[in-house]
Structure 1
Amino acid sequence: MRLLHHADPRPSAELSRADLIDLYRWPEGGSGPVVRSNFVSTLDGSVQGLDGRSGSINTESDHEIFALLRALSDVIMVGAGTIRAEGYQAVDLQPWQRSIRSAEGLAPFPILVVVTRSLHLDPAFAAPPVEHGPVIVVTSGDHEPGTIEPLRDAGAEVLQVPGPTVNLGWVLDSLAARGERRILTEGGPSLHRDLLAAGLVDRLSLTLAPSVVGGVGHRSTAGAALPERADFDLDFVLLADDQTLFTNYRRQVAD
C-alpha cells in the first residue's frame, strides 16, 4: 500500500502497519467525541454488491483497513438495519488487533453501539459464542420494559435517550463522558445521513473498490437532503496493490 497524498509529504515507499496506525490513529487531546465514518463503494457509487451486502464488494486491502480502524476505536456505531442486513454481532478481534489496542492503551474490545428507534433486533447478536466486546443498544425513552428486557437478558446495555427520538449528539456526548470518544461508524446510510446532518462526522473514510455493479444499490447516505451541504478537506489517499483506493477527509471547520 502506498501513500499518494498527504498534507505532510512522505516518501511513496510501501507503508508498514505502523505507518498505517499513525495515519488512522484518532487525534489526541480533548474530551469530546471524534466521529469517523467508514464506507466502501464501487466505482459507480454503490455501497452494496449484487447480493445487497457490502461484504461482496470488499477487497483484501479493504478488509485490512476495516480491521485496523476497529482496532483503533473505542466505539463502533451502527444502525439496526446494518445489524440485520450485514449479520453484525458483538465485536470479536484477532490477536494482532488486540495487540494494537494494548499498545494504544485501549480496552481489549471496542463497544458495539446500535442505534434503533424501533428495537426490531434479534437479541442473539449481542451474545455470539466467542469472546467479544460490550454491546450498548441506544433507543428512545418511550419503550415499555418488556420490549427492552430480552436485549438486557442477552447481555446488552440499553441506553434510552430522553424523549421520543434518538438525539445523536446526546448519545455521543454520553459516550465521551464515559471516556469512549473514538467513535467509528460503519453505517448504515440512514445513520450516516443523520450524523452528517447534525454536523457530527469529523473524519470521512471512503474506500473505492475497483469494480462496477450497476443496479440501484444504496449510496453512503440515505434519506432526506441535508439541511446544508457538508464540506470536507482531503487528508490523505492510499493506493493498495489490489487497486483499491482509500480516500480520507476531514470536516471543514469554519473560520
Structure 2
Amino acid sequence: MPRPSIQLLYSVDDPSARGELSDDDLVRLYRYPGDGRRRLRTNFVSSLDGSVQGPDGRSGGLGTASDSYVFALHRALADAVVVGASTVREESYRSIDLQPWQSELRERLGLAPYPALVIISGRAQLDPVIAQPEQGEGGPVMIITTSGKPEDDLAPLRDAGIEVVESGSTVELAAALQVLGARGWSRLLCEGGPGLHRDLLAAGLVDELSLTLAPVAVGGQGMRSTSGDALDPPRSFDPTFVLGGEDGTLFTSYRSRD
C-alpha cells in the first residue's frame, strides 16, 4: 500500500516553499543533525480538542494513515525510543521491530539495525514479555530504574535479555540521558507518557517537539501531552515546519529556544 501524500505547508528555512514531499524530502526534514550531539525529540498525536487518547483510551485511537507513516519514520531515524513505564503498560510496548523500508533506511544512513527501547521506571514492575518483539526480530530493551531492589525482582527481566540500569534513589533524567549518550545513542525519541514528557520539559532536556493534530474531536477526559505541575517558567519553542497529510492530518515541528 503506497504511503499517503504529504505536503509541505510551511518551513522556517523557506517560508515560500510548498508542495508534495517525496520519501527523501521527509527524511531530510526529520533526520537528526549528524554532529554527534545528543538530541531528544518528543512525538505526540493529539485530537483537535487537545486529547492524546482516542475513544479507546490509547494514542493509537487517534492514528491516521499518514500519522502511522510519520510515526514509523521517527522510529526509523532514532537510536533509542524513550518511554515511561505507564505508557509501556497502557500501549502494550514491546521490543521495537521494523518494516523492511525502515530497515533499509537505517542501513542506508549507517544506523544500528534496530532502535533500542528505553523504559524509565521507578519500580521496574514490568512484564518481561516486553523483550520480545511483536514479530520477527527486534531491538534491545533497557530499563533505567532506582537502586536497592531485591535481585529476585529484577532477575526475570534480566533473564529475558533486558538490561537493567540502577541509577540511585531517584531516576535523574539528565543522568539517564547521559547513560544513553555513553552508548552512542545520541538520536533520542520520546513517545510519552505525559508525566515523563512534563519532567523532561521541566529539566530543559527536550530539544525538539513534534506534535501531530488528528482531524477529530473526541471529548471525554483524555490526557494532554503533559501531566503534573505547571512548568515554571513555561518552555518556549519556535516552529520549524508544518506538513499536511491527504487525510487531513497536520504535522508540526518545533525547536526549543533553549
TM tier relative to shorter chain: over 0.9
2:232 to 213, 220, 227: 227
Separation in 2, partners of 1:109, 1:30: 18
Q: TM-score, normalised by structure 1?
A: 0.96
Q: What root-mean-square deviation, in Å, do the aligned CA atoms of Structure 1 and Structure 2 show?
A: 1.0
Q: Percent identity?
A: 54
Spell out, residue by residue over 1:30-50, the C-alpha distance to the aligned partner (whole angstroms, 9 max, x if none).
44x200000000000000011
The answer to whether the 8 A contact 1:232-1:250 is kept is yes
Q: What residue number does 2:87 align with?
A: 82
> Where does the alignment leave 5 or more consecutive residues of structure 1 unmatched?
none
Asked if 1:158 is matched to 2:164, the reply is yes
The equivalent position to 2:193 in structure 1, one of 183, 188, 195, is: 188
Aligned with residue 172 of structure 1, among 161, 168, 177? 177
1:2 equivalenced with 2:2 (yes/no):
no
Deviation at 1:242, TM superposition (A): 0.5
Secondary structure at the counterpart of residue 142 of structure 1: coil
Question: How many residues of Structure 1 are paired with residues of Structure 2 in the alignment?
Answer: 251
1:108 to 113, 124, 134: 113
Shift of 1:13: 2.1
Alignment match of 2:211 (pick from 199, 203, 206): 206
Task: Provide the TM-score with structure 2 as the length reference.
Answer: 0.95
Of 219, 233, 244, 2:249 maps to 244
Aligned ranges 1:63-102 → 2 under 5 Å: 63-102=68-107
Structure 2: which amino acid aligns with 1:80? A
Q: Within 5 Å, which residues of 2 pair with 1:34-49?
A: 34-49=39-54
CA-CA distance at 1:28 after TM superposition: 1.7
Q: CA deviation digits over 1:180-227, x for unaligned, max 9?
A: 000000001011011001000000000000000001100000111123
Q: CA deviation at 1:127?
A: 2.0
Question: CA shift at 1:63, angstroms?
Answer: 0.2
Partner of 1:132: 138
Would you say the 8 A contact 1:2–1:14 is kept in 2?
Answer: yes
Indicate the SS of the match to 1:199.
coil
Partner of 1:149: 155
Distance 1:176 1:233 in 2: 25
Matched, 1:19 2:47: no
Contact 2:36 / 2:186 at 8 angstroms: preserved in 1?
no
* Distance in 2 of aligned mates of 1:120 and 1:114: 11
Cα deviation code 1:115-173 (max 9, x no counterpart): 10011211111123531100001101121211111100111000111x21101100111
> Is 1:29–2:39 an aligned residue pair?
no
Q: Secondary structure at the match of 2:117?
A: strand
What residue number does 2:3 align with?
A: none
